[in-house]
Amino acid sequence: MAAVALFTHITEEKDMSRRLRALPFLLLLLTAVAGAQVTVNTFEGIDASNDVGPELGIDANGAVGTLQYTEWTNDAYWAFSKTAPYTPVTPQPVPGYTPWVQNNMTDCEPYSGNVQLNFDHLASRWVIGRRVGNGTFFYCIAVSSGADMNTLTWYAYELPLNSILGQNAEGVTYYPDYPKIGTWADAYYVTIDIEDPSRNYAEVGVIACAFDRTTMLTGGTMRTPQCFRVLPNPSGNYQAHSLEPADIDGTFAPPAGALEYFLSVENPTPPATTSSSLNLWSFHVDWTTPTNSKFTGPTSQVVNTYTQGCYDEGGNPYNTVCVPEPSTATTKVYIDSVGDRLMQRFAYRRFPGQYQSYLVSHAVQVGTGTGSQTGIRWYEFRIGGKGHSGTIMHNDGNYRFMPSIAQDKNANMAVGYSISGPSEHPSIAASYTSLANPTNPTEILLYSGTADEENSFIWGVYSSMTIDPSDDCTFWYVNEYFNTNQITNLTWRTRIANFKLPGCS
């Protein structure tokens, strides 16, 4: 069956819910539209002051496990208790190269960026993926021996990338950027953008790889990863830009033999400025006979028309820097919305005997003109049912961007994101609704920033909303903010929030 036939049509919801404000206390009580109360707990994560090697681009992300919550920035990770006062497991963040140092893997010891940390719900293990190298590149992946960050060890692996990346006409190895990792039953699936350093890092392809999850969970010698290289189509309209791999929530595995799906935006071909589809790809891995493995796509998934966040009407869909903050009028510094791609996660959940649900989100333009206000577009695709979609936007002059999405076992959706505007310091917010009976999502301000990033447009591109495997109800979200203006010295901070929606227990 063709992949396009598996995802059913989605309906557009109008998301214009009234914004609810909150104070930046540890415990926040926010009243939902229906009158029920949502209790939001927040605590401090990794900050520039305690990071082992702080830089401008931190790409804060994390995941919640059965015993702890673990956050990652580009060069360190830190685990915390899941109950107040959310005590960290170690006195300071742990250097990010630790799993590979423990295994004497020198290729994977250097500093790395664009790191992602997942929790494998089906196996109760932590999974870390890192891009490492300068000229000679590796993708380094580690799987924990257990779920307890106090006692676990790491199984560490590496994949040399240069032969897969290839070289440009000048003989320069292409650059691997923006890797993502998704957990599936038959593999850990990884995507990596391929960029040309000689052409201002223009994207020239994407790698999609399957890693031998079954063997890696036991610490054995993994079978050779199976990789495919996806190139632009002849028209130049790049359809595989920053592919998002599906990642499992909950404890119900996909049906036996289910394909791993990937999704990407449809970048408009200039002079067009809008799109009305997403691109679906599928990966079938055969570990017994690798020649039978297939990477297929794209097939078009029709959605409501959208303009990518901060879209440049001059025809450059990658120019996505337009989000203002209160200091912008003076500094002329804007924040990057990263509105040219879907944002992690492409969250999968199976409801046995009913349907399979996939969620994804991205920043879209909700005003008019170049650099106009951005909101959050979210989609639910279903196999075996009718999905939904919506656009979170408010008439408050603020920009919403950098989203991440998940759903609980009762089909309640929550999407977290950054929010900033001419009179709103960069802050952390979320919106939620029921996918069983969608209404206008309720927005809650998870944490209020009190200062700006005045010296850079760079904003972390891996904010992450994950669901607690212990109750399959509690949402955990991490993102960055400022309480002191970042002018010269690094002052970025991160905040971790958790909340559970009414009716889920």
Longest dimension (CA), the chain: 63
The answer to whether residues 337 and 241 belong to one domain is: no
Task: Let me know whether 314 and 389 are in one domain.
Answer: yes
Query: Tokens 């870390």 — which residue?
Result: 128
Residue-level pLDDT at 186: 97
Residue-number span of the structural domain to which 209 is assigned: 89-269+277-298
pLDDT (tens digit, 0 to 9) for every residue of the chain, 505 residues total? 333 345 654 555 544 333 322 322 223 333 333 435 799 999 999 999 998 878 888 899 999 999 999 999 988 999 999 999 999 999 999 999 999 999 999 999 988 878 999 999 999 999 999 999 989 999 999 999 999 999 999 999 999 999 999 999 999 999 999 999 999 999 999 999 999 999 988 888 999 999 999 999 999 999 999 999 987 765 555 678 889 999 999 999 999 999 999 999 988 877 778 899 999 999 999 999 999 999 999 999 999 999 988 876 555 666 789 999 999 999 999 999 999 899 999 999 999 999 999 999 999 999 776 558 999 999 999 999 899 999 999 989 999 999 999 999 999 999 999 999 999 999 999 999 999 888 889 999 999 999 999 999 999 889 999 999 999 999 999 999 999 999 999 999 999 999 999 888 7
* Cα dihedral across residues 305, 310, 312, 313: positive or negative: positive
Which residues, in sequence order, are bridge partners of residue 391? 14, 377
How many Cβ atoms sit within 10 Å of the Cβ of residue 55? 16
Asked if omega into 426 is within 30° of 0 (cis), the reply is no
Q: Is 23 contained in some domain? A: yes
**Nearest alpha carbon to residue 155 among 166, 167, 145, 164:** 145
Query: For 122-174, where are the E strands, in sequence order?
Result: 125-133, 137-144, 154-160
Asked whether residue 118 falls in the same domain as residue 209, the answer is yes
**Six token digits for residue 95:** 């250097």
Q: In what order do the strands lie in the sheet with 442-447?
A: 19-20, 442-447, 424-434, 412-421, 399-407
Same domain, 401 and 498: yes
The SS3 assignment for 59 reads: coil
- For residues 19 and 163, membership in a common domain is answered with no
Q: Are residues 255 and 337 in the same domain?
A: no
Asked if 332 and 445 sit in the same domain, the reply is yes
Assess if residue 317 is contained within a domain. yes
Separation CA 350–CA 9 (nearest Å): 18
Q: What is the pTM (predicted TM-score) of this model?
A: 0.93
Q: Are strands 27-31 and 374-383 parallel, antiparallel or unpaired?
A: unpaired
Are residues 491 and 482 in contact, defined by beta-carbon separation less than 8 angstroms? yes
Confirm whether 44 is domain-assigned: no
With respect to residue 389, please indicate whether it lies within any of the assigned structural domains: yes
Structure tokens at 415: 């999407």
> What is the model's pLDDT at position 326?
98
Within this chain, do residues 294 and 315 fall inside the same structural domain, yes or no? no
pLDDT at position 49: 92
Ramachandran category for residue 114: left, alpha or beta (phi over 0 → left; psi -120 to 50 → alpha): left
What tokens appear for 341 in the block? 């791609």
Is residue 190 a contact partner of residue 208, using CB atoms and an 8 Å limit?
Answer: yes
Quote the number of domains for the chain: 2
**Same domain assignment for residues 335 and 294:** no
Residue 185 lies in a domain: yes
Does residue 440 fall inside a structural domain?
A: yes
- For residue 179, which of 462, 502, 440, 414 has the smallest C-alpha distance? 462
Q: Are 396 and 316 in contact (CB under 8 A)?
A: no
Identify whether residues 319 and 230 lie together within a single domain. no
Residue 112 to residue 103: CA distance in whole angstroms:
17
Q: Are strands 94-95 and 399-407 parallel, antiparallel or unpaired?
A: unpaired
255 and 385 together in one domain: no
Nearest Cα residue to 340 out of 233, 479, 203, 196: 203
Residue-by-residue DSSP string for 376-427 = EEEEEEEESS-EEEEEE--TTS-EEEEEEEEE-TT-EEEEEEEEEETTEEEE
Q: What was the pLDDT predicted at 114?
A: 85
Judgement on whether residues 344 and 422 belong to the same structural domain of the protein: yes
Rounded CA-CA distance 402/362 in Å is: 7
